Structure 1
Amino acid sequence: MRAHVRWLAVACVALACVAMGAHAGKVYRWVDKNGVVHYGDRPPPDAKLEGQQVRVIPVRAEPGAMARLRLEREEGMSLAFADNAIAGPVEVLLKFTKSVNTRGEPELPARATVPANGSVLLARLMPVRAGAGEFGLAMEVVPGDPRATPDDIVYGLPIPREKLRVEQGFNGRFSHTDTQNQYAIDFRAAQGTPVLAARAGTVMQVESDFDKAGLDLEKYGGRANYVRVLHDDGTMALYAHLREEGVLVRVGQRVRTGQRIGLSGNTGFTSGPHLHFAVQVNRGMKLVSIPFRMTGVTDRP
């Protein structure tokens, strides 16, 4: 995300703000018992009781931003804040994309860890000297606290034991070759198979409105329905490729080991229905997967 500001004078600052992307997947249309047409982002709770006919209108959905760059005016300067929009910590990196007669306190690039749903002042931006100036900003965001220290525990199974079948493990050559997925496990799972929390934690992020799949990495590599769960040690479990509307938990919800959190599917970069499971941490503004132990799958990393 980027913001551009021009200094009009030393004490007169133009402000810019990068807003979060909209996130809506469906619009519901229904006619009530009086013949009045209604539209909403969720179906009416009394639709069955009143015999209302509800029609679903698909809408292209884009994932919501994890954090928002916000600029506020203060005499002679601008204050750059990071607003965290998810139920878990994120690390942000603020940097100049352009800087004319402008400096930051602290100097940019600047990093900060922003707590769940919290805000942090990243830098004060001000002219170096009297006169016109201009600057542009970009903010990178990575989920997770870089100080996380993983506990040595054994994870439960993310799908029912009777359906257990591993298709790709650690360092799998098909798609487990990058740092985010190196230590992931893919479980074969027919669409609609229950997905279970392999460890207790807090639901940090969800995506449930995507309905496409394929082997075009550029087109589908960055999209899939998923649940990200934050554990007490700061690690994060990723449950990916869930089916459309296959998320059964909400952001901020506390889940227990073995609790049903979703339904498997075939969304994103995939050759067929399966569940992609990984344990990840943030290391140096980079999301990386880490080895883990799981009952009945791997006894040691």
Structure 2
Amino acid sequence: MRALTPSRWTLAAFLLIAAVGAIAGDQAYRWKDRAGTVHYGDHAPESPDGRVQKIPLASGPHAAVRLRIDEDGAGRYSAWAENALAGPVEVLLRFDRNHNMTSQPLLPARATVAANGKTLVANLFTADAARPGNFEVELDAVVGDPSAKPRPFEYLIPLQRQALRVDQGFDGQFSHAGNENRYALDFAADIGTPVMAARGGVVMQVESDFAQAGLSEEEYGGRANFVRILHDDGTMALYAHLQPDGALVRVGQAVRQGQQIGLSGNTGFTSGPHLHFAVQVNRGMRLESIPFRMRGPQGVLQIAR
């Protein structure tokens, strides 16, 4: 049996705590002034009154959605979601800790953020203006527009090769049981086999710098080199387990059906070289694979469950 694509392609979220301004990079800083007020920022203060605490922020290939908290100077905060991907994402903002705070709309709150865009998710303010408030908020994000309406489409085989072998089909017991991978195909492919776009679209996500592989789901289940292509009906094709530096396209690039987009490999949670292919949609803060038709050299594939 072969491979498992990461179980959840959820984008990394950034945690901010009653912050002021935008947090950038991989570190935030926390300190208190002489009045005991806690401050947060993306740079350490030049002359802090007390100890400065470093707060690590999520980073890595999926850290493309950021939470920005703006303060108006009167104790009101605006929570913005910023999306650096070349496709839409859905976000969910919630309180991780809340003392005398409320919001409009009430948290948890969802919003859809356009490609390379930003959206105001909620305004936060003290519930009782006579008392101080403090809070921690967390932002989760899932790729795709939850209002996408998939249309029937006949996909092409995503590999440039003569022989064709599917090692794991729909509902495969090894790794295709979850919603994200139920309707996925694992094609046997030697490392370096050209990977072709099964359908045209816009390159939404790319990861190409991961070099490890193994059968430890804990260690490798969340990582694999991949290309994600957004189609014109809001569906997204995932091409996973590419070789290191095996993505031959860039984020935001338009690709046509049959165009080479990468080189197959053996990265992430996998038992051997292959290409994992799935068509996915966002069904409201959850990523799901959907059935699809695919045409090969001998006609439409008969995909066994």
**TM-score, scaled to structure 2:** 0.80
Q: Determine if contact 2:87/2:144 at 8 Å carries over to the other structure.
A: yes
Aligned residues: 255
Q: Determine if contact 1:21/1:62 at 8 Å carries over to the other structure.
A: no
Report the alpha carbon displacement of residue 3 of structure 1 after superposing the two structures with TM.
1.4
The aligned residue for residue 298 of structure 1 is 301
Between the aligned partners of 1:267 and 1:62, the Cα distance in structure 2 is: 16
Closer, same or farther: CA 115–135 of 1 in aligned 2, 3 Å: same
Between the aligned partners of 2:176 and 2:204, the Cα distance in structure 1 is: 23
The aligned residue for residue 254 of structure 1 is 254
Is the partner of 1:162 in helix, strand or coil?
Answer: coil
The aligned residue for residue 269 of structure 2 is 269
* Residues 194-273 of structure 1: pairs in structure 2 closer than 5 A: 194-273=194-273
Which letter maps to 1:157? I
Q: Which has the higher contact order (CA 8 A, sep 6+)?
A: 2
Q: Among 46, 57, 60, which residue is 1:62 paired with?
A: 60
Which letter maps to 1:4? I
Between the aligned partners of 1:20 and 1:174, the Cα distance in structure 2 is: 38
The aligned residue for residue 278 of structure 1 is 278
Q: Determine if contact 1:21/1:65 at 8 Å carries over to the other structure.
A: no
Between the aligned partners of 1:299 and 1:182, the Cα distance in structure 2 is: 16
**TM-score, scaled to structure 1:** 0.81
Between the aligned partners of 1:215 and 1:243, the Cα distance in structure 2 is: 17
Q: Determine if contact 1:2/1:18 at 8 Å carries over to the other structure.
A: no
Instruction: Find out whether 1:158 has 2:171 as its counterpart.
Output: no
Which letter maps to 1:233? D
Give me the identity figure in percent. 58
Which letter maps to 1:287? L
Which residues of structure 1 form unaligned runs of 5+? Answer: 6-13, 23-60
* Residues 1-301 of structure 1: pairs in structure 2 closer than 5 A: 1-5=14-18, 15=20, 17-19=22-24, 62-76=60-74, 77-129=76-128, 130-296=130-296, 298=301
Report the alpha carbon displacement of residue 95 of structure 1 after superposing the two structures with TM.
0.4
Which residues of structure 2 form unaligned runs of 5+? Answer: 1-13, 28-58
Between the aligned partners of 2:69 and 2:276, the Cα distance in structure 1 is: 38
Q: Determine if contact 2:21/2:71 at 8 Å carries over to the other structure.
A: no
Runs of 4 or more above 2 Å deviation = 16-22, 296-301
Which letter maps to 1:159? L
Report the alpha carbon displacement of residue 284 of structure 1 after superposing the two structures with TM.
1.6
Query: Structure 1, residues 30-89: CA drift from partner, whole Å, max 9, x if none?
Result: xxxxxxxxxxxxxxxxxxxxxxxxxxxxxxx93241300001111420110000010000
Is the partner of 1:203 in helix, strand or coil?
Answer: strand
Query: Structure 1, residues 142-193: CA drift from partner, whole Å, max 9, x if none?
Result: 0000011111011011002514211110000111011110000000000000
Between the aligned partners of 1:287 and 1:163, the Cα distance in structure 2 is: 31
